[in-house]
Each structure stands twice: as structure tokens, then as C-alpha cells.
Amino acid sequence: MRKGLVGGLVAAVVLVGGCSRSDEKTATEGPGPGGVKYGVDITRTSLGIPHIKAQDFGSLGYGYGYAFAEDNLCVMQEDFVTIRGLRARYFGRDGSYTIQPNGTTANNVDSDFYWRSSATDEAIAPARDHTLPDYKAVTRGFVDGYNRYIRELKAGGHEGRHAACRGADWLFEIEENDMYRRYYRLALIASGSVWINEIATAQPPPLSLPAASAAAARARPAAEPTAEQKAAALRSDPGPFRFFQKDRKFGSNMYALGKDATTDGRSVVYGNPHFPWIGTERLYLAHATIPGKFDIMGASLYGVPAILIGFNDHVAWSHTVSTAYRFTFYELTLNPLNPTQYLYDGQMRDMTAVPLTIDVKNGDGSLSQETRTLYKTHYGPVLVLKAAGIPILGWNNLKAYALRDANAENDSLINQFARWNQAASLDEFIRLHGEVLGIPWVNTVASGPGGKAYYGDISVVPNVPDSKVTTCQAVPLHQVVQLLAPGLPLLDGSRSACEWDTDEDAPRPGIFGPSNLPKIQRDDWVHNCNDSYWLTNPAEPLEGYAGIIGSERSARSLRTRLCIQQITRRLGGTDGRPGNRFDIPTLQDVALSSQILSAQMERDTVVGTLCRLPTLVGSSGPVNVAAACEALRNWDLKANLDSRGAHVWREFYRRVAGPLLPLPIGPENPLLYLTPFSASDPVNTPRGINVLLPTVSVAFADAVKAVADAGFAPDAPMGEIQHPGFIDKAIPIFGGEDFEGAFTVVVAGPISEEGYNIDYGNSYIQTVTWGEDGVEAEGFLTYSESTDPANPHFSDYTREYSAKRWHKLPFRAEQIEADAIRKYRLSE
């Protein structure tokens, strides 16, 4: 066979288990693996899981890159186009791109300017240069394996696959820097990339004023909106601050159970990120092995050839999104004669101008160019934030605002997971957590065979203690920011005394060291369900940490309260199941039980009071609620496929206490609950919805009308209403929303004629323990391994999830062999 077609790549393919589609026979014949640069065997087991057995780290990346491209090429490629700043070049001026986890949508032009200014070679160099040699090799290998697949596709291979991009001009081969840009983008999910539009469009006022008008410029503060006006504007239009509020979609659940919480004394780890079902922040399930050196299985965000949540024979771990902020704002005092100069310790400093030019594809296919100059300070980029048309963080001749991002300075993200993937014990895992300190925005739980239950929010947090906030806050706008992002500092940028501190045990300047970050180990259990570290275990609250990390002695979300109650009820023997400890089947049953805490708390009161009359007055007139009331009386208080009435309750609670309800009716209204929050009983308060509030009965009537307008009966089963919006709509999906107190989570938005189209929620789910033969793991990838509709693994795992059929995750060689459906060898 000609070597030129695929650059001398050689492979042998063996297909087993009835998966012998001709379009999967893609590898070329040639010499054996001896002396090759890359040598890797890939075995696909049930549901398409790739088990990558490599001769070295480079080969590991090579096999991962090739297997991943088989499954998710087009979705990943669009992200590479985006972070190169080429969207307008290939997709034109119209159109946009959304970073699904943080909800930021930027048009193609603004997106390009942001990434051209942000993900520069200079910005990614520290992480690239600092990455461990083994994982530099993994990264290079991924690029080569990914590019091999592209070449095969362009040469006519893989017929029928990747229709969305196989003939596109934006399907180009990637470079190593594309991977490091990808790592950088993932690091900024909870910080810089939330503010894409505010950074990409920030422009100064006129660069100079006549000297005679300088005093007049100083005398015009009345033209600036007041703090009260800015606060009102933010309340009505939170903009990017939505990401930092309690009702954000980006979340997860996790438990670590120690010997005192399990029937056999074996430790258990449960993990369940709530991540997007679309885009590149889906998770990819894989198993990576270098015989005698390396053996790890679990899930990774797209384009990261390291296991981010997973397990081996020595340790298992999971993550949830942390409440800590990863950045601070700085208020700049400007030179009124030149608003690109700012005061710092009595001297004026020049901002750095960043001139940029991008290509824009026109309607006729021709290219034009657009130029924009952005500005940076020594803190970071200048941004302009508006709400309801009012400049909240504006840029005038007196003030501007900059963002310093700790994760833009984080050079250890890949090293953290590289080291963890090779950890030989729980103790080593915990030591590496603080020693590397590269986790960008998540909490961690972990355990190992015979180990304690461990929790730590040992992550990258700006070192801004509360004392510094007191002396350095920029008044009055710091208080305005607190309305929507409590704990996020807005600091005085004119004084070096307001720079971030550095702890002695911090591996990099400007961040807290592990001694000032929350962590705990226990013999019974720890958890996190996206509230702060405070009630990791209510028997041992964690307190005394800086406000920028999280809140203490404050109300927890309904989901966190259910997370805790599920454990305490089980251990108290009051959850209706046999015994008073966890085993794996019991944990799995709890995890997918689809309980709705708000209904457990409030259904009887709501129905008993509001359903006394058959008609209630809603916001648009009378509504007959009799059938809805009957459905709720008979409802099982869950959101399983056969649960009837769950959608009525969801629409009601959405209007009473959900994310779409404007103040003052929502959960911050002290009148909503008859028993207010108490720090001495945080798991059970607030409670007792005040059904006498007129807004509550209106919300109930409006919910019933919304269900009727969507065309669904109030007693319709959830299996007829809820389905994946971007996979196969014939698959029914169980689960409830965060705001109503669900642990088994979906996110869909208000009911429509299509019901609930799920685009977010439970994603990779694992239960892990250890037996005599080593690790024992089961789980799901709820949206399946592939985003390509032509791939046989586009929706198969989703069907298994719908049926609640837990699958063992094959880890040992004999398990993999017994479950193999396809094998192939790649070499180069």
C-alpha cells in the first residue's frame, strides 16, 4: 500500500462482537510496530468506551487523539477554530459561539478579538513550558493522532462519518499550541471567559482633552450614574453575573463514603458532574494504560488527554464547581488628559495597547478585515460592563476597570491531573492536591481502598483575605458588585498595597496556599453539591476562611440540603430502605431516585391550601386548577419516567423560587418561608412556604396554565414530556431541576410544546469501590460517547441511562477482553 496517503502510518484492525461496519475499517496495512514512533492498541468495549494500551506516553496521546477524533471531530474542531480567533474568517460576521458551562455567548467578531487578545502565544507559554515532559509527549501524541484521522477523512476514509465538517475549509490539522490554547480556555471557564464581550468591546473615551477642559472633566461626576442607579440596573439585568449566582446551571454532586458509612467498611466514591449535553464541555469516557507504568480510567473534558474525574486500583475522585472566585476587579484612577494611563503608587502607568486585525468572511465568500485596539494593564485586560444600558464598570476620563485572573496565571492545570493520574495511594493524591495546586475551579472528594473520605477546595484562588477587602475595596462600586456576587472583591488599583498576597506554602505568587484553603478527612462521609465548603459534613463545619472562597453560616440550596439529607436519612435508617448503611446498589438507587425536596417539604401544604377552590386567578385571568390539584395529590414526589404531576410542580416552583422569577417574590424574599433560615439548623431551613402570599397562588395558577398551553395533561408521565434535545427525542429522560431541589439533575428551561428538551444535567456518573481483585466501578455517560449522528455510539449510552441500567466499567484486562466489540492497532 502507498505510504504517501497517510504519511507512513501503519495499523492492523481486528473487529469483534458484531461491530464490523465497513466504514470502521480505516487503518492501513504495513510493517510491524517495532521501532515505531507511536504504538498503541485500542479496544472498544460496550457502548464505545476506548481502552488505550500504549507503549509510552506519546503513544498514549496518539491513541487518545485518534479515538477521540473518531467520535467527536466536528464539535472539537469548531472549538479549535474559535480559540484561534478564526470564527469570522470561516463562518462570517453573523453567528455566534456559546461557552456552554458559563453561558457566555459572543458574536463571531467579538469572539475572535477576545481570543486573539487572550489566548496568545505569550499567554500559553508558561503552562506549555511548565508541563511535565510525559504530558508534553501526550499532548504531541494527541495532535498527531487527531491529525491522522483528519488526513484519513480527507482522503475519503470513514465514509458517512462527520458530515458536519468532513468537507469544510475549517477542518485543518491542528498544532501543539492549539492544545495548550484549549487547556487555557478550560482554565478560564469560571473567570476570564465569562467576560468575553466586556473585554472584546472595551474602548477608551477620546484619548485626550484640551488642558482647559481637564478641570471640567473632573467636575462632571454628576453625569456618571449613581451607585443606586447601577445597583437597580444590575438587579434588572445581571448579565455575566448570572454565572456567579446560586441558580447557575454549571454544577455537580459528589460523595466520598468512609468505612463508617458502608455495609462492608469499604470506602466508596460517587461522582456526577452536571455538565452540558452539547458543545466541548461534554465529558469523554476512556481508559489509558501503559503496561507496568500507568493505568487510569474515567472522564475528561473534550480535548484533554488526561483523566479529570476517575479511578484506578489506588484512588478515585470527583469534582464539583466551587464557589470560590478566580479573579478580582481593579478600579483604575486615570489621567484625565489621557485615559489610557492609570495611577499606581503616585505615578502614571501606560496601558498596553493591543492592536488586532481579523479576517471576516463576507456574504459572497470574499474576505475583508476589521481592526480593533484593546488595552491591558499589569493586572490584566480592561473591560466595560453595562447593565440595562447603564455603564456599571465603565471607562470614562476618570475611571476604568481591569480584571486580574488567577487562572490566566495558572501554569499547573495539566500537571495536576498528570500527577494525579499516576498517584499510587490516597495519601499521595492528597499531598499532590496541595503541592501542585493547579485545580482551576472545582472542589474535590476522593478516597482509596481502606482510606478515609477526603474533601478539599484546594484550588486556584486569588489571595485576598477579608482584611485586604476591608482596606482596599473600591467604594461605592464594591458594594454594588456584592449585590450579585457576594464575596467578589472590587479593589483599588492605584496602590501596590492592594495587590494580591502570597502565602508561604503557595506554589505560585498571588494565590492562597493549601494551609488557607478548606479541607477535611473523615471516617464517615463528605460531600459537595455546589454550595461552599461550610457544611461538607454538618457534624464538622468548616469555618474561618476568606470570603472570596465561599460563604459560611448562610442558607444552602435545596439540592445541597437533599444531598445531605440523603446521607443522614440512610445512616439513620429512615429513608425506607433496609439497614442503615450504604452499599453500591443502595447508593445507585439513591443517586437516580429523582426525589424532589421542595415537594417533600411543601406539596401537602400547597395542595391543602390552594386547592380548596377549583379556580385560582393567575396573572392573565382565572385558571381551573382542579385537574392539576388532583395530579399533585397522587404524585409520588419524584421526577421518574412514570411520575405524574412532576411538571406541574416544577412550573409552580419555577415561579415561586426558581431562577426565572424576578425579585421581590423569589427566594431572597424573607416572607416566602414561614420558618426562616437558621445557621443552627441549616439542613432544614428555610421551610414552610407562605401560601397566603398572593404571589404564591398566582404562581400556581400560572404554572397550571403554562402546562395546559404547552399541550400536556397535568397527570402526564414525565417520560412523555422530557427528552434530550440534541440526541434522540424518542428517548425519555428522568430527573428534576436544581431550583426545585433535585439531586438527579436535568436542565431544560420552561415547558413548551416540545416538553422539556434537556441540554444540561447529569453527565458522567461513577460509583467506585475496591474489592479483593482491585477497583470495582460502574457508571454512565448520559449523552453517549459521540456527537456524530452516524456513529453507532451516538445515543446508545443515553438509552441505557434512560432505563437506569448501570454498566460495569471494564478496567482489568480480562474484563476488557470479555466486553470487547472492536480492536485495532495504530502505529507510526
61 φ, ψ (degrees, to nearest 5): -65, -35
Strand partners, 520: 455
What is the SS3 assignment for 179? helix
Q: Could you write out the DSSP letters of every residue in 395-455?
A: --SSEEEEEEEGGGG---HHHHHHHHHT--SHHHHHHHHHHH----SEEEEEE-TTPPEEE
Q: Which residues contact 281 (CB under 8 A, 6 or more apart)?
A: 99, 100, 101, 186, 189, 275, 301, 302
**Residue type at 327 in one-letter notation:** F
Give phi and psi for 18, each to the nearest 5. Answer: 75, 15
Dihedrals phi, psi of 756, to nearest 5 degrees: -115, 115
Helices (H), 622-715: 626-634, 646-657, 694-710
For residues 679 and 554, what is the distance between their CA atoms, to the nearest angstrom?
A: 7
Q: Round to the nearest angstrom and report the end-to-end CA distance of the chain.
A: 15
C-alpha to C-alpha distance for 19 and 16, rounded to whole angstroms = 6
Query: Beta 774-781 vs 807-808: how paired, if at all?
Result: antiparallel
Determine contact, residues 281/267, Cβ cutoff 8 Å: no
Judge whether 768 and 777 are in contact, CB under 8 Å: yes
Q: Is the distance from CB of 564 to CB of 685 less than 8 angstroms?
A: no
H or E stretch covering 98: strand 96-99
**What is the distance between the alpha carbons of residues 706 and 660, in angstroms, rounded to a whole number?**
14
Nearest one of 798, 757, 747, 808 to 252, comparing CA atoms: 747
SS3 labels along 70-97: HHHHHHHHHHHHHHCCCHHHHHCCCCEE
252 is catalytic: yes
Q: Please enumerate in sequence order all residues whose Cβ is within 8 A of that of 524, keeping only pairs 6 or more positions apart, or say none.
A: 257, 258, 260, 261, 453, 537, 539, 571
User: How far is residue 139's CA from residue 305's CA, in Å, rounded to a whole number?
Assistant: 7
183: its cell numbers: 487547556
What is the C-alpha to C-alpha distance for residues 110 and 96, in angstroms, rounded to an integer?
9
Place of cell 471607562: 395
Determine contact, residues 696/610, Cβ cutoff 8 Å: yes
What is the DSSP code (8-state) at residue 799?
H
Cα dihedral angle (532, 227, 195, 759), rounded to 10 degrees? 60
Give how far Cα 495 sits from Cα of 345, 347, 399, 468, Å: 5, 10, 15, 12
Classify residue 312 by burial, with Cβ atoms within 10 Å: 0-12, 13-18, 19+: buried
Of the residues 111, 117, 252, 494, only one is catalytic, namely 252
Query: Which residues are the active-site residues?
Result: 252
